Structure 1
Amino acid sequence: MKDTKKIKKILSSQQFIAGISLVVLYIYFSISSPAFRSTSTITSIFDAAYYIGFLAIGVTFVIATGGIDLSLGTGMITSAIIGGLLYQNYGMPVWVSMIVTLLVGILLGALNGFLVAKLKIAPFIATLGTQMLMLGLGSIVSKVQTVNFPLRSSPDGYYKSLFRTNNNFPTGIFIFLGLALIFYIILNKTKTGRYILSIGSNEDATRLSGIDVVKWKWRAYIISGFFIGLAGIAYASTYTSITPGLGTGIETNAIAAAIIGGTSMTGGIASLLGTVIGVFIMGVLQTGLPFIGLQPHYQIFITGIVIIVAVYIDVFKRRNDTH
């Protein structure tokens, strides 16, 4: 009886549904277009996944608290721009540029955490504000000029090999999967994860139990900031030239990946395994749609539908659990 209940629980879980959806999508595109069934397509899916994947890991922790982070995309781009300017305009070593890129992301996460956890500003409003702040900052510091990173062929282009081999295989996917595993353990096996999930489940009860809600909620946003900076480094390794004003809209893919994978928008429930599956679903959609004659902007429309369905499934399951 217990085994039957366990199997039913697995089969009805959003992670299982997302996994089946990923397989079905891949099969559909493969049948619709024989050209999709190639090694280069797999490479393209990986290429579309890993920097979005970094953002998705970080925002999973934020959503688990019942919050949201709309500054992911513009934060990633502006972090890369600031780091790139140090290399391009001031002759700093590329490794300094990468560290600064990471630090800018962490500082953005700390700012978001301060606004949400300490000042009690609604997460949507706070991160909408920092989204616009970072969008403007990127244009201001770069004077609306394109920022260039070193080419792979140059001596300073060595950092690109962390995310892409000389034959263009995106090794960044392995960094993404490795970090997903590490933060899966943090989320599910450590005090950090337990407290973050507890805050999302019932913030008042968590506070009354003696847990410093401000501290742990702030930490969730700092984790997101770390991944914003890391995504900035990964983006710079993929696209040598970065134009100010980019980034708006990228956050929707990361947030969608987390929600599709079973992280509840109301907080308290999060799955990094599901987030990884969601990231690959977004990658398959982005790569596969052109193969069936649809332009990539259709992904935005389809993503919207998928988010609505995923949120409805979460609401439906929660409603059933309370009855």
Structure 2
Amino acid sequence: MEKNFSKVNLNPSKFAAVGALVFLYIFFSIFGINFFSYGTLVNILDSSYYLGFMAVGVTFVIITGGIDLSIGTVMVASALIGGVAYNNWGLPIGWALFISVLTGTLFGFLNGILIAKLGLPPFVATLGSMMMAQGIGAIISQVRTVRFPDITQPDGWFKHVFYKSSSGFPVGIIWLALVFVVAYIILYKTKIGRYTFAIGSNEEAVRLSGVNVAKWKIIVYTISGLLSGMASIMYAAAYTSIVPATGAGLELLAIAAVVIGGTSLSGGKGSLSGTIIGVYIMAVLKQGLMSMNLQPHYQTLFTGIVLVIAVLYDIYRNKKMG
């Protein structure tokens, strides 16, 4: 099994993703306005935090052959509920952030139950959860923008802890690195990871061997929800103001990063390091298009093009290996 993991970890898609990342950075450095600067580099890092958390979580899901379309709205709903807990319920900021993480985790657990126990297709189950999260967030916030404390307020310390230090250092990169390391250990060194790959490779064979597939699927979707809840902290730290009924579409950026990084949508193959590279491709693309004075809808267009190319390459690779 370890040998198989090594092959997955060294798949050619990851190296193609590295090449694409280097190419994009050089391209925008030449043609963008002030792209090659420390300020832009910090903006690229800032853009990667909440997206990276979501992408790492959904990597587990996609390796099993599933999908999680709810992570974007779950992240925003978690931030909204945490913000309401702080502003309206009078809870300390620490407890409010814990409630945000707990909310994301519960949504992930719900997805796991719907898929593993009730037999709903992942697309349908997580699409339903996406809409439920959007609705619940709007209801609890009473369709009002929720604001977290900024750095000038006493409880604004959480921004220094999760987003940027008082000296301006992007501490979010440290949190993303820690999450990556923990997720890497879980995926490649534990039973959870072994069954994640095994279920994606041949779920029926795993079931016939006596493994409780439902249990491991629930764990995988719960991990995705947990990381969406954690992403909500990074999102709140970055933006302060959280708007209800938003978040739809952010899941596509995370899924695009995962696929670009070499994780196969057909399941059984995946790379967390490739996912992180994909996250930075998305972040560089966003900042690069902004440096060329292009409107946000161009980012959506080019993200779609990059995703289609990545999926086509995945199909080609699977046919070649098959």
| TM-score normalized by the length of structure 2 | 0.95
Does residue 216 of structure 2 align to residue 216 of structure 1? yes
SS of equivalent to 1:202? helix
Does residue 234 of structure 2 align to residue 234 of structure 1? yes
Q: How does 1:1-323 map to 2 (within 5 A)?
A: 13-33=12-32, 35-163=34-162, 164-322=164-322
What do the CA deviations read for 1:16-41 (whole angstroms, capped 9, x no partner)? 00001000000000011351110000
Q: For the Cα contact (< 8 Å) 2:188–2:194, is it kept in 1? A: yes
* Cα deviation, residue 167, structure 1: 4.2
User: Alignment identity in percent?
Assistant: 50
Code of the residue aligned with 1:21 in structure 2: it is A
**Whole-angstrom CA distance in 2 between matches of 1:201 and 1:282:** 28
* Cα deviation, residue 169, structure 1: 3.5
What do the CA deviations read for 1:250-295 (whole angstroms, capped 9, x no partner)? 1011010000001110111110000000000000001110212321
CA RMSD of aligned residues (A): 1.5
Q: For the Cα contact (< 8 Å) 2:80–2:242, is it kept in 1? A: yes
**Whole-angstrom CA distance in 1 between matches of 2:116 and 2:147:** 36
Q: For the Cα contact (< 8 Å) 2:65–2:266, is it kept in 1? A: yes
What do the CA deviations read for 1:122-148 (whole angstroms, capped 9, x no partner)? 000000001001111111111111111
**Whole-angstrom CA distance in 1 between matches of 2:38 and 2:167:** 13
Which 10-residue stretch deviates more, 162-171 or 141-150?
A: 162-171
**Whole-angstrom CA distance in 2 between matches of 1:247 and 1:168:** 27
* Cα deviation, residue 166, structure 1: 2.2
| TM-score normalized by the length of structure 1 | 0.95
Code of the residue aligned with 1:136 in structure 2: it is G
**Whole-angstrom CA distance in 2 between matches of 1:174 and 1:300:** 28
**Whole-angstrom CA distance in 2 between matches of 1:151 and 1:96:** 17
Which 10-residue stretch deviates more, 127-136 or 287-296?
A: 287-296
SS of equivalent to 2:245? coil
**Whole-angstrom CA distance in 2 between matches of 1:295 and 1:170:** 26
